[in-house]
Structure 1
């Protein structure tokens, strides 16, 4: 609701409000993703009204996409889903007071093991609707010759029925020094977060850090961070508090190439990070590696990298001049080419704190009429708190399943612009989830082919086919094939 209130707090701007209706008829030969011999085929009818709202003015930026999906089945009760992706930024008082806000509703996989969600119209016991909200008012001001100060309050909430209900309140003070671009610079960050998980006792996280930066020249610089952190969750190993620090360097030989790396030490051991990107006129590559303590709700609220979509939006400006049509084409392309999720791996439900180590490699190559995208990801999680708190999610006989996990995935997509109004997109993905404590290993493969056609400025049609294959050394193998056709009308 806050996102819809932001316009009243900002100066007038150009608005785009587009109501839509999506009609879809499809057939699946395995609606519940059941094991071989228990498959059940059904026809599915979907009616999905929605709205897209956007504006980008000097004091207000807002993007909101909402869909209400009504699903009708031939042999079981109807049901409804909602999808929401909204984010906004508003300058309330020039050069002083700002506010950021985000909200989302989406169907997510509960576990990385078992049937995996590919189409929200399918039904299985391993999915749940996740609702996220975040609001962050902050004061920012530049004190000439001294520093830029930011005082920020963050409220976040993640809920999913009786499975997740987590709220957090955080207060952050950041001071960034102003030395006029001469020699050393500094950054001071103070943060305190109070976490309230309905399944746990409240947790307080405190952090204080000082970072020094030194530019050797216009393309090479070094930085060093020292700080102290304290987290009062009940850890199974090292006490989650203590001094920490790391050293790093950043190299930017040109506007198209960037490389930043660091190494250091925290209470859980050595830690490393890497952030690199390489861009040519028609190609973009990004490589990232990080290690951190994380939670399920924290990952749901993390901001996903947008490099590929931003790159394609700029690159396809001449290929698809209409910005709305261009955005929809990119969304379809990335959805099909990243079929297992934007990160490739599953953010499974848990009330635990984890040490997560993850790496991602993404790339896209585009020509005037085609584009090829590739995404590789690997992530490992090690539980830092007792698994007993997940008994409601996993059951008492599966508590060790997520003590130590490793997920890997590869996704590829190819888009071909057949004409000024038609596009063909082919996507393929393969992922593996392994429990390093129990030895269970699940594999998922999917292939999707989609054809879209812009019939007029307000009407588009699409058709798609897919094949999904799931195997597990714990049994419950399944296959699913689906075919569907859609008509989208914009008003």
Structure 2
């Protein structure tokens, strides 16, 4: 059962956490939900092979899990962990771990804070070829990725002057077989001034990051900037920024990854529920554009974003998964599920189903030690009522490598050399949940992802459709049955189809 714990609670897991953070944890409410999932599945193509080599299999899954949420004025904790044991009729048994954990704490009021995250997940090694399907054995194109981030920082508001922040961040990314092994140390200094006169404000920052990669020489990034915001009215404001940057990697494009940059733009906020921020500028790689728009109605929430930036795959793994979709649902479900902790559990469960059986809600990430210029357009929309929830995600991502392909030759032996010099992805995902009655719900998910190499003649397409019926047997016990259809095609051959059916029993304790 769900366990809610206040400051007078008996000793338990939350109390152990409070010993680690004694100052902010005293007034924290805890929700602890242990659970167990039992699932029996059948697939007609367990190894995701072409139809002539397809082999069927029965899969038994045992998955104990723990969800933990802590909420207080000075401490926020979220943990979603599961261990999954798979027993196959015709293959050796396997197991996997999945973890998403984060915490934010204010240790010394108005001064000392700490933020931390950790994750364990299965990830595609290559964007081409078979992709991960929840519940199926490994296809040879996947590995486990572990990420950690620890960031203590000092932040204080100086009255009539502004806010100052000094932050240190330690990040690590590692994978099975040492395919990826990276850690970085970053120091950031941020200053933001109080509004003056008619509301104009300023900000300044300095950022330095040292990165150690097992496959590369040490790299150092430095960036400094200043910015201004000038409001023309209660709805419109102009923005501008300028600075210098040095990425520190050895570029293969002929352009040094350093120089001055600038941007100008504006912010439109016609109401508290609508905001649009846009800008254009120039960096060492050329003209840049950005867009960040949000629109909230009673039952509908939209988010539209466009960005251009230099990034790496380890940096993408360190981002919080499906954070945009989770924020949209959180805003919409506040009236339906007033309890914030119970609402978070429902969001996790909904996104786990929407993302676990189809293409990712975001871009397909893959193993690489290269730097990329990434241009990404994403649209996420959610509609929620008391009986129905729909979430739609559309992504278009263009990645152009900025460093030589030779450093990835050992990662992708089955992929044509240089095929990832430039890739373009287009993907979409639609998830729908309908509460047919007080005890019965219907869930449908459809995902499409296309990955195209613009440097080699190759294009892969992935389509997954699932449909399921869930029935509450007891207050803490739910049974469901799900059908799945997956299809993969490629201009290089190796296409396959997979059909599966599963029966699941979920129990909370």
Q: Which residue of 2 aligns with 1:165?
A: 181
Q: Which residue of 2 aligns with 1:66?
A: 81
DSSP-derived class of the 1:145 partner? coil
**Cα distance, 1:172 vs. partner?**
0.4
Q: Which residue of 2 aligns with 1:140?
A: 155
CA contact (8 A) 2:426 2:449 kept: yes
CA contact (8 A) 2:239 2:265 kept: yes
Q: Which residue of 2 aligns with 1:279?
A: 296
Q: Which residue of 2 aligns with 1:459?
A: 477
Structure 2 residue 114 is the aligned partner of structure 1 residue 102: no
DSSP-derived class of the 2:419 partner? helix
CA contact (8 A) 2:302 2:381 kept: yes
2:165 to 135, 138, 150: 150
Q: With structure 1 as the length reference, what TM-score do the two structures score?
A: 0.95
Deviating more after overlay: 181-190 vs 256-265: 181-190
Q: Which residue of 1 aligns with 2:25?
A: 11
CA contact (8 A) 2:322 2:362 kept: no
User: C-alpha distance in 2, partners of 1:432/1:40?
Assistant: 26
2:268 to 251, 273, 279: 251
- Unpaired stretches in structure 2, ≥5 consecutive residues: 1-12
Relative to 1, partners in 2 of residues 1:466 and 1:322: Cα closer, same or farther, differing over 3 Å? farther
Relative to 1, partners in 2 of residues 1:423 and 1:322: Cα closer, same or farther, differing over 3 Å? farther
DSSP-derived class of the 2:416 partner? helix
Q: Which residue of 2 aligns with 1:121?
A: 136
Q: Which residue of 1 aligns with 2:217?
A: 201
CA contact (8 A) 1:203 1:232 kept: yes
**Cα distance, 1:374 vs. partner?**
1.6
**Cα distance, 1:145 vs. partner?**
1.4
User: C-alpha distance in 2, partners of 1:485/1:25?
Assistant: 5
**Cα distance, 1:420 vs. partner?**
1.8
Q: Which residue of 2 aligns with 1:92?
A: 107
**Residues 67-102 of structure 1, C-alpha deviations (whole Å, 9 max, x = no match):** 111111111111110000100011111110000000
Structure 2 residue 451 is the aligned partner of structure 1 residue 436: no
Q: Which residue of 2 aligns with 1:260?
A: 277
Q: Which residue of 2 aligns with 1:30?
A: 45
User: C-alpha distance in 1, partners of 2:209/2:311?
Assistant: 14
Structure 2 residue 306 is the aligned partner of structure 1 residue 292: no
Q: Which residue of 1 aligns with 2:237?
A: 221
Relative to 1, partners in 2 of residues 1:325 and 1:171: Cα closer, same or farther, differing over 3 Å? closer
**Cα distance, 1:183 vs. partner?**
3.4
Structure 2 residue 406 is the aligned partner of structure 1 residue 388: yes
Structure 2 residue 495 is the aligned partner of structure 1 residue 481: no
2:376 to 354, 358, 364: 358
RMSD: 2.0
Q: Which residue of 2 aligns with 1:55?
A: 70
Relative to 1, partners in 2 of residues 1:45 and 1:297: Cα closer, same or farther, differing over 3 Å? same
Q: With structure 2 as the length reference, what TM-score do the two structures score?
A: 0.92
Relative to 1, partners in 2 of residues 1:462 and 1:271: Cα closer, same or farther, differing over 3 Å? same
CA contact (8 A) 2:302 2:328 kept: no
CA contact (8 A) 2:169 2:185 kept: yes
**Cα distance, 1:21 vs. partner?**
1.2
DSSP-derived class of the 2:474 partner? coil
Where in structure 2 are the equivalents of 1:339-350 lying within 5 Å?
A: 339-350=357-368
**Cα distance, 1:366 vs. partner?**
2.9
**Cα distance, 1:399 vs. partner?**
2.0
CA contact (8 A) 1:284 1:308 kept: no
CA contact (8 A) 1:336 1:448 kept: no
CA contact (8 A) 2:69 2:341 kept: no
- Unpaired stretches in structure 1, ≥5 consecutive residues: none
DSSP-derived class of the 2:188 partner? strand
User: C-alpha distance in 2, partners of 1:239/1:486?
Assistant: 55
Deviating more after overlay: 244-253 vs 358-367: 358-367
Q: Which residue of 2 aligns with 1:306?
A: 323
Deviating more after overlay: 396-405 vs 167-176: 396-405
1:78 to 89, 93, 114: 93
**Residues 12-35 of structure 1, C-alpha deviations (whole Å, 9 max, x = no match):** 122222221111111111111111
CA contact (8 A) 1:224 1:246 kept: yes
CA contact (8 A) 1:62 1:89 kept: yes
User: C-alpha distance in 2, partners of 1:255/1:318?
Assistant: 17
**Residues 309-339 of structure 1, C-alpha deviations (whole Å, 9 max, x = no match):** 3343443456557766654544443344445
CA contact (8 A) 1:46 1:71 kept: yes
CA contact (8 A) 1:111 1:346 kept: no
Relative to 1, partners in 2 of residues 1:164 and 1:317: Cα closer, same or farther, differing over 3 Å? same
DSSP-derived class of the 1:123 partner? coil
Deviating more after overlay: 26-35 vs 310-319: 310-319
User: C-alpha distance in 2, partners of 1:410/1:150?
Assistant: 38
DSSP-derived class of the 1:297 partner? helix
User: C-alpha distance in 2, partners of 1:268/1:24?
Assistant: 50
**Cα distance, 1:340 vs. partner?**
4.0
User: C-alpha distance in 1, partners of 2:352/2:154?
Assistant: 37
**Residues 389-440 of structure 1, C-alpha deviations (whole Å, 9 max, x = no match):** 0011122872211001000012112221111232111111111100001110
